Amino acid sequence: MNWNRELSRREKVVILVLAILLLVLVYYRFVYSYVQSRLAQYNTSALESELLVEQGRAQQISSMEAQIRVGKGSSEGIVAPYNNLKQEIRELNRIFRGTENFNMDFKHAYADGTNVRRNISITFTAGSMNSARSVINDLYGCRYKCLIRNIHISRGGGAYDYDYQASGGSTSSGSVSVSLDVTFFETTYGASSTSGLTTASDQQQNQQ
């Protein structure tokens, strides 16, 4: 066999094609496959991390749900004579002044016998889940007797409903939006006037 003979043009083309195919196979085996494998691992890790975050949020919510049930949301404050609205507003402003923002919708107070109830719908934004819990705890410890209901917390596209309970549990960063209803209890005993009061039957008719 003559190893010194000059290769024909056809042989050079064949060798060139084989060399290109070899390079492609080497690239696919050692570069492309490795990159794809790493990307798959990265995507899996990202999904697992996201899942862990969501599970953590769910656990925090479950913790708050467990915290917000003892005592049925009713505080141990005093039952003041009607009309105690100004003092209740002052107390609410003290409780919510540390939030990022808040809004209150006051309903007409109504009497059921000598008992007076004043319903207020409140929405507020807190800097974290822990801050929201602290505000709710402060409301629970309000000096005037009240009942907290329909606590609704949302963050990051998730929404959660609660009943009230004394706290404990984990902290979490990130702003949360909270809505709740609170009923303040007053009494007609010792009231200097009952002006502005409606009755429980009037309240029921308005809700129908």
Output the domain CATH number for residue 134.
3.30.70.60
Which residues span the domain enclosing 143? 68-207
- C-alpha closest to that of 147 among 115, 171, 169: 115
Residue 135 counted as domain residue: yes
CA–CA separation, 115 and 196 (whole Å) = 14
pLDDT number for residue 101:
95
Give how far the C-alpha of residue 46 lies from the chain's centroid of Cα atoms, to the nearest Å: 22
pLDDT number for residue 173:
63
Number of domains into which the chain is organized? 1
Contact in structure between 39 and 47 (CB atoms under 8 Å)? no
Residue 2 counted as domain residue: no
Q: How many other β-carbons are positioned within 10 Å of the β-carbon of residue 67?
A: 18
Residue 27 counted as domain residue: no
Q: How many other β-carbons are positioned within 10 Å of the β-carbon of residue 98?
A: 14
Residue 80 counted as domain residue: yes
Summarize pLDDT for 16-51 with one digit per residue, the tens.
Answer: 778 788 877 777 776 667 667 766 666 566 666 666
Residue 41 counted as domain residue: no
- C-alpha closest to that of 69 among 170, 151, 189: 151
Please report the DSSP string for 45-71 in residue order. HHHHHHHHHHHHHHHHHHHHHHHT-GG
Summarize pLDDT for 102-150 with one digit per residue, the tens.
Answer: 999 999 999 988 999 999 999 999 998 889 999 999 999 999 999 999 9
Summarize pLDDT for 66-99 with one digit per residue, the tens.
Answer: 555 444 456 678 999 999 999 999 999 999 999 9
Residue 48 counted as domain residue: no
Residue 197 counted as domain residue: yes
Residue 120 counted as domain residue: yes
